[in-house]
Amino acid sequence: MAYQVIVLNGGSSSGKSGIARCLQAVLLPEAWLTFGTDNLVDGMPAGLRGSGPGAGIGFGADGVVSVGEAFRAMDDAWAVGIGAMARAGARVIVDEVFLGGPASQNRWRRALDGLEVLWVGVRCAPEVAAGRETARGDRVGGMAAAQAEAVHRGVGYDLEVDTTHTESMECARIIAARVSPM
């Protein structure tokens, strides 16, 4: 099977971005673009980062993430755009956090309809992800622990990896073996 898209779903600080970068190296000479939910949030107007009416996305002091209609609209357009790139011939790795569980996966399924997609769950023990979150220093405390299991509930995968004790490169090799079987 010739995959066009790899969707990595996992909580904050689970290791998805590291795996995505390693996949780009392991899958050479085929070029894969990588896009993450952080790219979407960073590209949003600052006024849509916070709480309140029409809010885009907000981060509570306890690490809970809330999304409003403005974020949902941009997120839908983002997913459709990623699908359009893949349909135009780009190979794409998506670094995602399914805050809505199966509803989030279904949104991506609609956007990627007709494409060959490898669905990968990236798991990490909550206490390990929380330690990474603290070490990073660029996340709201509590987000990693809150998302570690929640983002996987009700979501179906073709493959799962666990970064609790496995390095990003090894996880990437496991995924790459599924994408490009020897």
Q: Which residues belong to the active site?
A: 38
Q: How many CB atoms lie within 10 A of CB 51?
A: 12
Give the helix/strand (H/E) hosting 93: strand 91-96
β pairing state of 117-123 and 5-9 = parallel
Radius of gyration of the chain (CA): 16
β pairing state of 159-162 and 65-67 = unpaired
Which residue type does 34 have? T
With contact defined as beta carbons under 8 Å apart, do 163 and 173 qualify?
no
Rounded CA separation 68/144 (Å): 21
Strand ordering across the sheet containing 32-36: 32-36, 91-96, 5-9, 117-123, 159-162
